[in-house]
Amino acid sequence: MNNGIHGNRASQGYPALDSPSGARLSSAGAFMSLPSRIPSSPRGSSLESLIAATAATYARIEAAQKTFLAAAADRGSPLACPSGCGSCCEPFVPDVLPTEAAYIAAWLLENEPALAERAAAWAGAGPPSVPPCPFLRRSGQGARCAIYPARPLVCRLFGAAAVRDKEGRASFRPCARMPLPGRPPRGRERRPLSGADLVREFGAEPPAMADYAAELSSLRPAEAAERSLLFEALPPALRRVGLSLSLAEDARDRTYSTDDEREKEAVSGRPDGAGRS
């Protein structure tokens, strides 16, 4: 499974969120004005079940990783990225499924509308430079991910995930940057472990990347082969998600308006006006 580009291979029930005045989304040269208010939850939109299913997959990944990391710590091998490390984001830009792009787009529209607007502009001009990942942020405190809660699958699994060896067993080698007491300092000098050796060393198997990639692909099988680099996939995803959310909001508004009219008609039809406040 190709997960992105490396090095120089690349030249529920939330309150509504006000969008920036005059914000516009761009996709493949087409512009779409955002509504003055963007509903921040996919509830009621065509994306509701997809976003919920994606979130459930991500929650299972987190639970599996917590189990593995706790077992490793119990065996005297605490696994953790060094504080402020962003080395995996420097030479890499992930590729994503449309499902992942939609999830990121929904999160951006809810939490970072100004960043969503800038990402939408990549459709015409492209990101500032790639690699590094366009969402990598560096400061005096080190590196951070600007979309960490919505990050793609490969970014969630990196560092605490296994690959499948030729026999189908989970195979794991710690990241080169992870310090491990009493073990070679660099990942290249640490041999990968599989099967019983892996469990004996770390106490459990880490989640296998291929398993969760297959699970995510199964949410929309027709799109399973439609992987794109993140900066290519996100602008059209923002356009689609923004449109879906605004249509859902319009539908809710029409429903509320119809209900109000029916209530008014029911009250006005009563001889004594009973029920009026």
Whether 26 is in a domain gets the answer no
- Domain contains 149: yes
205: nearest Cα among 167, 152, 166, 164:
164
- Which stretches of 75-112 are DSSP H helices? 98-111
Q: Show the domain range for 101.
A: 47-267
Residue 192's contacts (CB-CB under 8 Å, 6 or more residues apart) are 165, 171, 172, 173
Token representation of residue 98:
């449309």
Q: Which residues contact 254 (CB under 8 A, 6 or more apart)?
A: none
- Cis ω on the peptide bond leading into residue 184 (within 30° of 0)? no
Distance (Å, whole) CA 35 – CA 21: 9
Is there a domain that residue 42 lies in? no
For residues 255, 256, 261, 265, the Cα torsion angle rounded to the nearest 10 degrees is 100
Q: For 255-266, give the DSSP string.
A: HHHHHHHHHHHH
Q: Is it the case that residue 122 has pLDDT exceeding 70?
A: yes
Task: For residues 87-109, give the mean pLDDT.
Answer: 92
Q: Is the pLDDT of residue 221 over 60?
A: yes
Output the six-digit token pair for 113. 């509308």
**Does residue 30 lie within any of the structural domains?**
no
Q: E strands of 64-222, at which residues?
A: 92-96, 136-139, 142-145, 163-164, 170-172, 193-194
User: Residue 193: is its pLDDT beyond 60?
Assistant: yes
**Strand partners of residue 26:** 31
Number of domains composing the chain:
1
Higher-pLDDT residue of 42 and 109 is: 109
pLDDT at 110: 87
Q: Is residue 208 one of the residues assigned to a domain? A: yes
pLDDT in tens, 129-144: 778 899 999 888 888 9
Inter-residue contact 146 to 108 (CB < 8 Å): no
Determine, yes or no, domain membership for 235: yes
Round to whole Å and give the CA distance between 106 and 252: 18
pLDDT digits (tens, 9 = 90+) for 229-277: 999 999 999 998 988 888 777 666 665 555 445 555 555 655 555 555 4
Mean pLDDT confidence for 117-122: 90
Q: In whole angstroms, what is the distance from residue 232 CA to residue 239 CA?
A: 12
Q: What is the pLDDT of residue 266?
A: 57
Residue-by-residue DSSP string for 20-51? PTT-EEEETTEEEEPPSEE-SS-TTSTTHHHH
Assess if residue 27 is contained within a domain: no
Q: What is the pTM assigned to this prediction?
A: 0.75
Q: Look at residue 86 in the predicted model and tell me its pLDDT.
A: 86
User: What is the β-pairing status of strands 163-164 and 24-27?
Assistant: unpaired
Name the one residue in this structure whose structure tokens are 């995996």: 88
**Residue 11 falls inside a structural domain:** no
- pLDDT, tens digit, for every residue of 16-40? 333 333 333 322 323 333 444 444 5
